[in-house]
Amino acid sequence: MTRTIVITGASDGIGAAAARQLHAAGETVVVVGRNSDKTRAVADSIGAPWHLADFSDLAEVRALADVLRERYPRIDVLANNAGGIFGDRAVTGDGFELTFQVNHLAGFLLTNLLRDRLIESRASVIQTSSVAARAFSRFDIDDLQAERRYSPSTAYGNAKLANILFTKELARRFGDQGVSAVAFHPGAIASGFAGASNGLWHWMYTNPLASRLLTSTEVGGSRLGWLALGTPGIDWRSGGYYAQNRPARSTPLADDPILARRLWEQSAAMVGLSTS
């Protein structure tokens, strides 16, 4: 049976690569992106439907959820892949630190707004995390907005750790209702995700010489695709974190169930959802 796979952040990078690969595998892919021209181009190249949402605006995330519920009677895989690393600390119109909102809070909101559809479909929810969760995070549950401590690297690492904690809590809360959840590190990918950052991050991801040391978007996309095509409990474990298609370790905080629960509760309060 052909499955419906929704991929956010699919206008370029590993999201676009995964969309092409999954379409080639015979799946129905729904392309979600922020830039209309890029998103349309990816979707048109594979004959897929496409939708727009800027994750720095939670009203657009809510509108996206409405459209997805209306258009797709099944959502077999939701890949929360949208994200990025940014420069100086910025606050969105919703009042949240930009890195935290785009990388974690928007995907958290979208997943919860689609929760009933995901349960009905016995769906897999995939989070694009990063080794940055281990390398750069200085996670403080009482400073999620990085008001006391901010750097682009730390904010990104904290958000990627939030992806893993969200994955584990999602599996704990809704695993017995049929939802599976997994997070993964795609590799240091030669893409434009750091284009809005500055300093070393910007140089590493935009300099042609440095980019030769990075993993291709096709390889990164295949790692997302491996999870999307895989069977939870057989190919991968729900609640797990993977790198190079194998179970991997992140920071010890990623295995803290109390921290995962507190992050869920605070995230839900931020976006006005029930904590249940």
List, for the chain, all residue ranges whose pLDDT scores fall below the cut of 50. 194, 202-203
The values of phi and psi at residue 196, to 5°, are -90, 0
At residue 1, the pLDDT reads 78
Count other C-beta atoms under 10 Å from residue 40's C-beta: 15
At residue 212, the pLDDT reads 53
The active-site residue out of 72, 156, 205, 241 is 156
156 is catalytic: yes
- Between CA 191 and CA 160 the distance in angstroms is 17
Could you say which DSSP state residue 138 is in? -
pTM, to two decimals: 0.91
At residue 274, the pLDDT reads 84
Q: pLDDT tens for residues 199-250? A: 555 445 555 555 555 667 889 999 999 999 999 999 999 999 999 999 999 9
Alpha-helical (H) ranges within 106-251 are: 106-113, 115-121, 132-135, 152-174, 199-206, 208-211, 217-229
Radius of gyration of the chain (CA): 17
Residue type for position 239: G
At residue 83, the pLDDT reads 94
